[in-house]
Structure 1
Amino acid sequence: MVRRGGQRFEITPAILLKAYACGIFPMAESADDPRIFWIDPTERGILPLDQFHLSRSLRKTIRRQPFEIRIDTAFPAVVDACAEPAPGRTQTWINSQIRALYLELFREGFAHSVEAWEGVHLVGGLYGVSLGAAFFGESMFSRRTDASKITLAYLCDRLRRGGYQLLDTQFLTEHLASFGAIEIPRDDYQLLLEDAVAADATFHPSGAGTAESVLQSFSQTS
């Protein structure tokens, strides 16, 4: 991880998009720390969309459709839920400026959320940034068993159908590795990123958004 110094100028949504196109992303030390640091990992986590692993148990859960999956209906609420301290974690990397930047990217069509709803309750979800045919996953949360896992599966189905070439997970965790995520060197990531950002994709492809489409997409990758 490389920190490129504290925040010393106003970051705009345009600057943030340029940063993503260069392979760096922002983080804060905590919600109360106004500084923003640019992160450029030497090893980058990605989830190859043609290698996404859908376990047999999660396949059964998706078939039951325990949640209603929505797209972009509660982006601010998803960001806020992701900023809440998780079990075993007392800090969050999302401060007020980072939150404001992503909300602006959402208003401009460059950020999206995938949400799991249980009635009127938002119980899981994720959000990220879309640029060309690259999607940069930022964070996810879950308030019900498998809620975030299901939204990840719906995201990957949508990206595959929409022509995306790269799903960036920033770092590799054991949780993401169980879905097929891997680490690659920075130089290899930069090559993938350059091609993906220059290509076209759509976050709203036809055929996406149903349990059937998710199960069909990954019938050969489990």
Structure 2
Amino acid sequence: MNPELSPEVLLQAYSTGIFPMASPEMNDLILWYAPDPRGIIPLDNFHMSRSLKKVIKSKKFAILSDTNFEAVVRECAIKRGSSDETWISEEIIDSYTQLHRLGFAHSVECYEDGKLVGGLYGVCIKGAFFGESMFHKSRDASKVAICALVESMKRHGFALLDTQYTTAHLISLGAIDIPKVEYDALLNEAIQLENAWWNADFSWFKDFF
């Protein structure tokens, strides 16, 4: 494992608002980022459209957590659309899989007819969840995964859902940009919450509506 991406280094970095990405233009050199402004989804600001509610009510997708973490990361790493590059290198995959084994990285997985069709993964430190990436192979699968994540975070005492950056997709779900100084204050509070905890049981979600 790259010492630069050891669990200790990663956890310290995330605790101070810094995260790594591999640069495909630089032979997957690991670069570190602390964007200003910073993207977050306020947990009380998550936007669930009528169409998304309809999909969830249909029970088309089954939501699980932490049953296939590495597969989710590898799906996120697959080049899709017009881009032929990915920041999720083999070193990134290995390092975050190790974090997962230690209980600091988690996946939310979306299944359709028993097949993995969407999901997301991220790093978890007490009351903060740092979303890393998501994917979908079936329409709305990643949106359903985010919805399940937000509701689980609300149930288990979390305070911060960090999206790193905002995109049109995330903004449609309630993501906003905030100044780094404001983000740092939220992060500092979230990582001191002793009662927040990750619960991989998402069986309640099938009866969410």
Q: What does 1:71-110 align with in structure 2 at a 5 Å threshold? A: 71-110=65-104
Matched, 1:48 2:37: no
- Aligned equivalents of 1:147, 1:67: Cα separation in 2: 7
Change (3 A) 1:109 1:136: same
C-alpha root-mean-square deviation of aligned residues, in Å? Answer: 1.8
> Structure 2, unaligned stretches of length 5 or more?
none
Aligned to 2:164: 170
Aligned to 2:114: 120
Tell me the TM-score normalised to structure 1 length: 0.88
1:70-115 residue CA offsets vs partner (Å, 9 max, x unmatched): 1110000000000001211110001111111100010000011011
Aligned to 2:187: 193
Q: Which moved more, 1:119-128 or 1:133-142?
A: 119-128
Q: Say whether the 8 Å CA contact 1:31–1:93 is kept in structure 2.
A: no
Q: Say whether the 8 Å CA contact 2:24–2:86 is kept in structure 1.
A: yes
- The aligned length equals 207
Q: Say whether the 8 Å CA contact 2:131–2:163 is kept in structure 1.
A: yes
Shift of 1:156: 0.5
Aligned to 1:161: 155
Matched, 1:132 2:126: yes
> Structure 1, unaligned stretches of length 5 or more?
1-7, 216-222
What SS does the aligned partner of 2:178 have? Answer: strand
- % same residue: 46
- Aligned equivalents of 1:33, 1:168: Cα separation in 2: 27
